[in-house]
Chain A
Amino acid sequence: MTALLLVSDFNLGTLGRYLQNMSTERVVHPVVAPYGQVTQTLLSNPTEKIDTAVVWTRPEAVLPTFSDALALKPVDHRQVILEVEAFADLVLQFAQRVPAVFVVAWTLPSSALDYGMLDYRPGLGLTNLLAQANLTLAERLARAPSVFILNPERWIREAGSNAFSAKLWAAAKSPFGNSVYQTAALAISFSLDGLEGRSRRLIVLDCDNTLWGGVVGEVGWQGVRLGGHDHVGEAFQSFQRGLKALQSRGIQLAVLSKNDEATALDVFDNHSEMILRRNDLAGWRIDWRDKGMNLVELVDELNIGLASVVFIDDMPAERGRISEAFPSVLVPDWPTDPTHYAEALAKLGCFETPTLTTEDRQRSRMYVAERERSVALASASSIADWLRTLGLKVEAAAIGPDSISRATQLLNKTNQLNLSTRRLSEKEFSEWAEAKGHRAWTFRVADRFGDAGLTGLVSVALDGKAAKIVDFVMSCRVMGRGVEKAMLSVAIQHARNAGAEEIVAQYLRTERNGPTLEMMEGSGLDQAEPGLFRWDARKDYAAPEFIDLRAN
């Protein structure tokens, strides 16, 4: 259950209803603050436990000078900006009392009169003033990592001519039509998923008539419709450009296709109009087997949960098969006309993340490196030999401003290799790490095939001569290479240096962190009782000799 406080100068009751009755797994308990009492609400403590707040206001209601500007009176735009800064400071204060805040960017009312061709003119136009106000708000609120600005333009665009309703405003003090609130509710739900590390991370795609037009098995790679002077071919290319753009922000792409593998891969390798290439794919299953079975194998290979998957296929029967077998997979209805594919992709909105790290952007390259690593393992005489040939480097660094975002993301998204499965906001984790006796490190892992990035996290709490490993989190991508022992060695060395005599790690079981128990059982620490691991900190704990460990 997510308790969501809705703060507004207008009636947000309809948004609350959509949030409460969405047909998603998320259960939202909306708490609608009395409308018109924005300042009072932002200045006071919430009367019940709130997980996230949504602040959606009209600029003319919270910026007095903007109200004059809307009446086309001459106003000093600098005064409006000062009022924006004051409002932003109010939100920043409020953000210290709730875990996260979504602020909806301002829009002009549908009935606004403006200066026509002069409306973008600095110092005069309303459009210019609104853009400046929103930019100032964004810059000011960027000071708080738990505050996010949601852009309502898409909600309004999708609602078309039903976006605004003068009658609803007159009768219920609700400026927007129902469909704006409906789209907003979905966007807020996806943003909440993002905060909790539950956003979609993998798009699984069909090939024929999904990535290109036609059946490659029949027409060959030269004959598929893609690009060229053909509106259908152009449409498939636009769709691929959208996919490539999502990949650039860390969303992985994979292929599930009923085809001959070599024939389908020929298109990726040889067709000059392909935007996506073989190395853009995190993985694929191209054969004649059932797509459900193949999907299970694929997500297993990529260490991604089914709840992170979006499945796109032009065939309704295949979509039905996947959505029935795996309800947690997002299977969007897909247009029959390829010219609508790119738009359908843009409307998905399920890829929200509170941060975007370098690791996110490079994730695709990491999957390719993993494939190359697997090939090397297959040709090695033993795992020990293979580990020695990898040239593993592990770099430990105390958590700081440059790594807190990625560290929090790792803490909240990792399920399988997670000792205690603590879920904290960036602010909460940062405060915890700075508390007396607490210490947290991030670990970057690289080998000769590539840089896996920031893939490990350990935190320790010291209390006199006792030390406790509170978090031990590792990405599955670096599992099975001795990295966990290098991480433990850093934590144990810290405890030794601080004079601790014993360090313990308590494994807290969840539905998905079974691999953590196996890993801890193989770590060399004593299991004093089920799930409780101990190490005599007076003894050294060495990292594997084949790892070049550097601790900053």
Chain B
Amino acid sequence: MNAATIENSVFDTIREFNRQQPPNQQIGFEPESVLLGDGGVLDSLGVINLIVAIEQNLRTSMGAQVDLLSEAVGDSGAEKLASIGALAREIHRQLGIET
């Protein structure tokens, strides 16, 4: 498991997740693509669906256990998971992966 395989898993999940989103509300794949907070396009069900799907895919595809949902609903959730780049950093932090 490394940063690249984690990124692949996250992008696969986003690709699948976008099928439930209208074309103008899909999540981008760039590090600066907004997830939570200002400029975000997801409502609360969308956030939960995406975060849980990312966790689930990481667990089933590479046995990696992370808890992103607790971060998302925590006080600093909007900051820690503000963008795709921030999400990746949080996953790396929880898994102890150096980038």
- Show the binding face of A for B, using Cβ within 8 Å: 11, 13-14, 17-18, 20-23, 160-162, 165, 167-168, 171-172, 174, 177-179, 181-182
**In the assembled complex, how far is the CB of residue B42 from the closest CB belonging to chain A, in whole angstroms?**
11
CA A18 – CA B19 in complex, angstroms? Answer: 7
Contacts of A181 in B (CB 8 A): 20
Contacts of B57 in A (CB 8 A): 162
- Show the binding face of B for A, using Cβ within 8 Å: 16-17, 19-23, 45-46, 48-49, 52-53, 55-57, 60, 69
With contacts A14-B45, A171-B69, A172-B45 known, is A165 near B20, CB below 8 A?
no
Contacts of A17 in B (CB 8 A): 20-21, 46
> Which listed residue, B45, B55, B60, touches A167 by the CB 8 Å rule?
B55
Q: Are B49 and A162 in contact (CB under 8 A)?
A: no
* Extra 15 A-B pairs, beta carbons < 8 Å, given A17-B20, A18-B19, A172-B49: A13-B45, A14-B45, A20-B22, A21-B19, A160-B60, A167-B52, A168-B52, A171-B52, A172-B45, A177-B53, A177-B56, A178-B49, A179-B16, A182-B16, A182-B19
CA A165 – CA B20 in complex, angstroms? Answer: 17
CA A17 – CA B23 in complex, angstroms? Answer: 12
CA A182 – CA B16 in complex, angstroms? Answer: 9
Contacts of B55 in A (CB 8 A): 167
CA A171 – CA B48 in complex, angstroms? Answer: 7
> Which listed residue, A11, A167, A178, touches B16 by the CB 8 Å rule?
A178
Minimum-distance CB pairs A-B, first 9: A17-B20, A172-B48, A161-B60, A171-B48, A18-B20, A13-B45, A167-B52, A168-B52, A162-B56
Number of A-B contacts (CB under 8 A): 54
**In the assembled complex, how far is the CB of residue A226 from the closest CB belonging to chain B, in whole angstroms?**
36
Q: Are B48 and A168 in contact (CB under 8 A)?
A: yes
CA A161 – CA B63 in complex, angstroms? Answer: 12
> Which listed residue, B17, B45, B46, B56, touches A165 by the CB 8 Å rule?
B56
Q: Can you spell out 12 A-B residue pairs with CB atoms less than 8 angstroms apart?
A: A17-B21, A17-B46, A18-B19, A18-B20, A20-B22, A162-B56, A167-B52, A171-B69, A172-B49, A174-B45, A177-B56, A178-B17
CA A235 – CA B16 in complex, angstroms? Answer: 30
CA A375 – CA B21 in complex, angstroms? Answer: 54
Q: Are B49 and A167 in contact (CB under 8 A)?
A: no
**In the assembled complex, how far is the CB of residue B95 from the closest CB belonging to chain A, in whole angstroms?**
18
CA A77 – CA B48 in complex, angstroms? Answer: 38
**In the assembled complex, how far is the CB of residue A157 from the closest CB belonging to chain B, in whole angstroms?**
15
CA A160 – CA B57 in complex, angstroms? Answer: 11
Who on chain A is nearest to B59 by CB? A161
**In the assembled complex, how far is the CB of residue A183 from the closest CB belonging to chain B, in whole angstroms?**
11
Who on chain A is nearest to B18 by CB? A21
Contacts of A172 in B (CB 8 A): 45, 48-49
Q: Are B45 and A21 in contact (CB under 8 A)?
A: no
Contacts of A13 in B (CB 8 A): 45
**In the assembled complex, how far is the CB of residue A172 from the closest CB belonging to chain B, in whole angstroms?**
5
> Which listed residue, A160, A167, A174, touches B69 by the CB 8 Å rule?
A167
CA A174 – CA B21 in complex, angstroms? Answer: 17
CA A70 – CA B13 in complex, angstroms? Answer: 33
> Which listed residue, A21, A160, A162, touches B21 by the CB 8 Å rule?
A21
**In the assembled complex, how far is the CB of residue A159 from the closest CB belonging to chain B, in whole angstroms?**
10
Q: Are A14 and B22 in contact (CB under 8 A)?
A: no
CA A174 – CA B45 in complex, angstroms? Answer: 10
CA A20 – CA B23 in complex, angstroms? Answer: 11
Who on chain B is nearest to A19 by CB? B20
CA A182 – CA B18 in complex, angstroms? Answer: 11
**In the assembled complex, how far is the CB of residue B73 from the closest CB belonging to chain A, in whole angstroms?**
8
CA A171 – CA B47 in complex, angstroms? Answer: 11
CA A20 – CA B45 in complex, angstroms? Answer: 15
> Which listed residue, A11, A171, A178, touches B53 by the CB 8 Å rule?
A178
**In the assembled complex, how far is the CB of residue A169 from the closest CB belonging to chain B, in whole angstroms?**
10
Contacts of B23 in A (CB 8 A): 21
Who on chain B is nearest to A15 by CB? B20
With contacts A161-B60, A162-B56 known, is A168 near B19, CB below 8 A?
no
**In the assembled complex, how far is the CB of residue A523 from the closest CB belonging to chain B, in whole angstroms?**
50
CA A171 – CA B71 in complex, angstroms? Answer: 13
Who on chain B is nearest to A161 by CB? B60
Which of B17, B49, B57 has most chain A Cβ within 10 Å? B49
Q: Are A21 and B20 in contact (CB under 8 A)?
A: yes
Contacts of B46 in A (CB 8 A): 17
Contacts of B21 in A (CB 8 A): 17, 21
Who on chain A is nearest to B45 by CB? A13
With contacts A11-B45, A171-B52, A178-B53 known, is A162 near B19, CB below 8 A?
no
Contacts of A162 in B (CB 8 A): 53, 56-57, 60
CA A256 – CA B21 in complex, angstroms? Answer: 38
Who on chain A is nearest to B57 by CB? A162
**In the assembled complex, how far is the CB of residue A4 from the closest CB belonging to chain B, in whole angstroms?**
15
Contacts of A171 in B (CB 8 A): 48, 52, 69
